[in-house]
Copies of this chain bind each other. A is one copy, B any other.
Amino acid sequence: MWLIRGGTARGPWPQVKVHAATSIGPQYRRVKENPRLMRNIEKFIRDNVPRFEEVLCDFLRIPSVSADPRHREDMVRAAEWLRKYLEGIGLDAEVIRPPGSVPAGHPLVYAESEAVPGAPTILVYGHYDVQPADPLEEWSSPPFEPTRRDGYLVARGASDDKGQLLTHVFSTEAWLAVYGKLPVKLKFLFEGEEEIGSATLSAYLRQDPDRLACDCIVISDTAQFSPGQPAITYALRGIAYFQLELEGPKTDLHSGQYGGAVTNPANALVMMLGALVDERGRVAIPGFYEAVRPISEEERQMLGLLPFDEDVFFERLGVDGGSGEAGFTVLERLWVRPSFDISGLTAGYQGAGAKTIIPSRATAKFSFRLVPDQDPKKIALLAEEYLRKICPPGIRMKLALLAQCPALALSLRSPWVDAARRAIEAGFGCPPVFVRSGGSIPIINQLYQSLRAYVLLVGWGQESDNAHGPNERFSLADFHRGIRTSCHLWQELANVEVKDSE
């Protein structure tokens, strides 16, 4: 069930009448709300907002760039900063050093609250590492000196993910400060390698999954649908990323003396990659769509109701239109259907002017974004078989699968979702919409697979936060609403009956 339950979506998007789903049973018990309970918490938040902002600024001043070895010590500082803060609000917290198998790894931070009998255990995942700040000259203020501007906090990591992860820390602080306890058991797991592949956490998950055992995973590292319109993300696409190398003659050849009879690896590359897509914009590999779930009428209708303007979308990207698989809307192409994209092409002469050669080799990097239930390894086999079949004589072909992860699709018929929906409505003043993401986050897949717990992707950021670019920012209003929502979330999640959940 993923329609917004009874009511009218509010906000700067068209008034959309949505209907309560009839298929939801009483999978969770809704305890009677205690208005005073949340009122006290909210008062604490209001009183502490200036301090929360200062604490976030303090955190943002640590240049915890995981990709840059020069910031190794800053990574340790950021982890220690988190541990100390978590300890300070009353949790058991520790820094976990990366295992010997990940020598260049950065520490994990782990903390937990006391057990709450009968209530679920919630794992909060986030990451304290940030993207490099380059190009520095495009920042209007120093990336690690947080600056308030037009209601935003501008700094590297403000939205991705320091600002978002702290909302859950501050909500926990509020509960503990006001009531001395939490309605659920919380486990915090913060890593320092989300931007560089999560090797340490991945190793830790294989080594000690029991410690992280939980009923539901809460992650705020995604975006709202648009400003003022919060969202719950219920699906991510998977990926199979390849490098294709074609080798022809042992050296570059003169294109006059040899052109027309010698197979040119660059010609072969465009022919073979071109043959991966048919004239309807579909991937032409036999069997590629075999496991793809057809889009349901229900989902199609809901996506159609989202306030999404295709013209504005393309205009913002600087193009006059787009293209893709025939028979699907832009949002369907981005979220529900698999895609094929070339990320890099390399062959022959790339300098100025003309050089008349047949290059001896040509290389491409490309990926398929996958949807449920496509198996990336099976897709890799199909792709290799197809490419070998169309590879012309005179070419030696190498295909390497550089990265892969399956798609993630969560049922919206879940009490966890309903709890989150209510919390968001309380925190943001409007119900969330339910969205998918075209991207792939392998560590989320791994958490989901390892812990077998529901994953709630509730992000307070915006697509326009420029997460990996210059002048990254986080709306202070979203920051405050995120903290409030998180406070409500612990209460709402407490009402989910663990044994009855899926």
- Contact residues of A with B, CB < 8 Å? 237, 239, 241, 243, 248-250, 253-264, 266-267, 269-271, 273-275, 277, 314, 317-325, 330-331, 333-334, 337-350, 353-359, 362-365, 367, 369, 392-395, 402-403, 437-440, 463
Contact = CB atoms under 8 A, between A and B. Distances in A.
Contacts of A324: 260-261
B267 A340 contact: yes
Given A264-B341, A277-B267, A342-B266, A241 B354 contact: yes
A145 B17 CA distance: 88
Contacts of A439: 254, 256-257
Nearest to A350: B346
Nearest to A256: B439
B257 A354 contact: no
A344 B349 contact: yes
B334 A357 contact: no
Contacts of A343: 255, 266, 348-349, 354-359
B342 A262 contact: no
* Interface of chain A: mostly helix, strand, loop or mixed: mixed
Given A256-B439, A322-B263, A355 B347 contact: no
Number of identical monomers bound together in the oligomeric complex = 2
Nearest to A325: B260
Nearest to A236: B256
Contacts of A254: 439
20 contacts: A241-B356, A249-B318, A257-B437, A257-B439, A259-B341, A259-B369, A260-B325, A260-B339, A266-B342, A267-B340, A267-B341, A270-B364, A319-B395, A341-B358, A343-B355, A344-B348, A344-B350, A345-B345, A349-B365, A356-B440
A275 B267 CA distance: 11
A347 B345 contact: yes
Nearest to A393: B321
A320 to B, nearest CB: 6
Contacts of A322: 261-263, 393-394
Contact of A320 (B258, B325, B345, B394): B394
Contacts of A395: 319
A271 B358 CA distance: 20
A275 to B, nearest CB: 7
A356 B367 contact: yes
Nearest to A401: B354
B367 A255 contact: yes
Given A271-B277, A333-B261, A394 B256 contact: no
Contacts of A367: 255, 259, 354, 356
Given A318-B250, A319-B394, A342-B347, A271 B269 contact: no
